[in-house]
């Protein structure tokens, strides 16, 4: 069992940057493959980025490639989402997700592939 708590959201102007953090409780954080998703008002939740257990692999949605970076610090039980060149269309609630994984280098981009979810953090980008 793991609990996820996101932080770092807020209001930023277009072109600005934010770094989201997701801290996991419990042990064995390094056993979990992690992901970020987001949900804008009136839209379905969508994949943003993912990182494998040992950070060997990362994966991004096409619209985030080059603007967002995902990383993790297993010693701090934390995964990060660094967002740059933010656009108003990036406005959403951002969710952290985790799944226990036997593979060191695999990433996952589907909601159903994750077991644990955080409560989300609001990101608002003004034009």
24-66: per-residue pLDDT in tens? 998 889 999 999 999 999 999 999 999 999 888 999 999 888 9
Task: Using the predicted structure, report yes or no on whether residue 93 has a pLDDT greater than 90.
Answer: yes
For a pLDDT cut of 90, what percent of the chain falls above it? 89
- Residue of 54, 58, 2, 63 whose CA lies nearest to 35: 58
Number of Cβ atoms within 10 Å of the Cβ of 14: 13
Q: Which of 4, 2, 11, 1 is nearest to 79 (CA)?
A: 4
pLDDT of residue 72: 97
pLDDT at 97: 98
Per-chain mean pLDDT for the chain: 95
């Amino acid at each position: 069992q793991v609990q996820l708590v996101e932080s770092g959201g807020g209001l930023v102007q277009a072109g600005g940057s934010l770094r989201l953090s997701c801290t996991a409780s419990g042990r064995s954080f390094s056993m979990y493959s992690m992901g970020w998703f987001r949900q804008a008002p009136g839209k379905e939740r969508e994949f943003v980025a993912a990182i494998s257990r040992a950070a060997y692999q990362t994966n991004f949605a096409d619209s985030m490639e080059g603007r967002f970076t995902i990383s993790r610090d297993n010693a701090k039980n934390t995964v990060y989402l660094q967002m740059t060149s933010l656009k108003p269309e990036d406005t959403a609630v951002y969710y952290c997700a985790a799944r226990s994984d036997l593979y060191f280098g695999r990433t996952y981009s589907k909601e159903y592939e994750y077991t644990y979810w955080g409560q989300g953090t609001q990101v608002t980008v003004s034009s």
